[in-house]
Amino acid sequence: MILLITNPQIKVNFIALFLQSFTKFKIGDFMSNVNITGFGDDLTINGTRLGDLSPSAHEKIELKKGGQNYKPLENVVVSHVQDSSTLICRKPDPSNVHAYIEEEVLDGLCCYSAVNQGQLNKTIVDAVVKHLTEEKLPTVPRSIRHKYMSGLLLAITSITGMDRAVPKVAGVEAPELLFKLSRRWGYQKKGISAGEAIVVAANGNFHGRTMTAISLSDDPDSRTDFGPFLSGIELVPFNDVEALQDLFERKGDKIASFLVEPIQGEAGVIVPDKDYFKKVSALCKEYNILLAMDEVQTGFGRTGSNFAHQLFDVKPDIIGCGKAAGGGILPVSFVAGSDEVIGTLTPGSEGSTFGGYPLGAVAAIFAIKVLEDEKLAENARIRGSQLMNHFEDIMNEFPDKIKEVRGKGLLTAFEMYNEPYLNGHKVSVNLMNNGVYAKETHHSTVRIAPALTIQAWQIDNLAEAIRKVIKEL
């Protein structure tokens, strides 16, 4: 239908009304309504001041406004860091006079090994602040070189003993690139027919949450309703040389790599037999298969050696690192490996907007400096031995409750018998109430992985808290 308006005044009014309505619709439809003021506890978003929120109020906001992909400990919110191993946490005020009270809590998890150098390590913080204030070069794209890239590559290849490195950002980018490099090397160097390359992984692994990572996984929580998954993947039991050899014998001509954690962290700190990787390495060489190791959680001194593969006296073809690579200050990850493998990359075949960005490069360089200068691997080995001795005493004291203790360095765990009243979540909550932050995995296992700067007396206090909680179960 065509509306014909002949009266000039009516026409003008109609057009004005039409444009007004159209404009209001378009602008109103896309305008936000956000008012942000203040900083710290005074930070206020649309009238909600963070310093006024109780732990339960924080929880309600997250439940309503966030995705439920994590299950944090109830009734506790981290406020700030007191020192390298101590968090200040807000808990409900038992008197109900205030919204919360603040208490010291020993960090027994260290952001899943992302803060090996300790919270707010002065050397790393000073370097980052100085870089921002004096060098004034936070980031530039990879389409132009910056001077700190050279420093980062020299530091990474020196500490890992590898030929080349590819800087990335998120931890999961490291195993993602391990996977891609495995396939590319398989096609270009080994001569696997196009589209037929196989990457082998271990049951119980955790390589992250990307589609590649969960395609490698057998964890139903990670995989349910996310399929279809990547093809060209085979799984074998971890710490089973015979199963790996059998697979290599049957499909070795199509297998590009065995992508594996030297110690499985998320699975509950599963440590393989001492000679496992020696045999694995020999098999990989025999069948011309890459040994690709995910050191995201086990690297940077965590296990009592700079990298966990060194504990088993093997040298992988490629390794992936993250977490502590940024010193707990900035997200940094990388893949390091041989000329033959990393040399398969060409311009445009791989990239990352912030991979190797100047500020991240500085953080990583000084994270490596701290690892060496402060002898973190050595302290992890000494303090880890002290903690394991405590664990064994606790297991002997409560043989009906503690099934097994496991670990290397300061990557440790104790596993309880899988009974309803011995669940790991209850232990984690009770530990928090006794001044220690830890978190369960797989119901009955609790990981303990504090900062590598931790002192002997703190280990004693941590162990005593665990003993008390286990006794009261």
Distance CA 103, CA 327 (A): 25
Strands of 77-83's sheet in order across: 77-83, 86-91, 101-107, 436-437
CB atoms within 10 A of CB 135: 14
In degrees, rounded to 5, the angle at the alpha carbon of residue 129 between the alpha carbons of residues 127 and 133 is: 115
The answer to whether residue 273 is catalytic is no
Closest CA to 106 of 89, 86, 91, 88: 86
Q: From the candidates 323, 401, 408, 439, give the one annotated as an active-site residue.
A: 323
**How far is 204 from 344, CA to CA, in rounded Å?**
30
Which residue, 114, 75, 143, is CA-closest to 321?
Answer: 114
Catalytic residue among 107, 179, 258, 294: 294
Strands (E) in 160-232, as ranges, are 164-168, 198-202
Neighbour-count burial of 8, counting CB atoms closer than 10 A to its CB (0-12 exposed, 13-18 middle, 19+ buried): exposed
Question: Dihedral through CA 208, CA 77, CA 411, CA 235, nearest 10?
Answer: -20
Annotated active-site residue in 107, 168, 206, 312: 206
Contact between 352 and 121 under an 8 Å Cβ cutoff? The reply is: no
160 vs 58, 114, 301, 364, 402, CA distance in Å? 42, 18, 12, 13, 37
What φ, ψ does residue 293 adopt, rounded to 5°? -115, 130
d(CA 295, CA 293): 6
206 carries an active-site annotation: yes
Residues carrying an active site annotation = 206, 294, 323
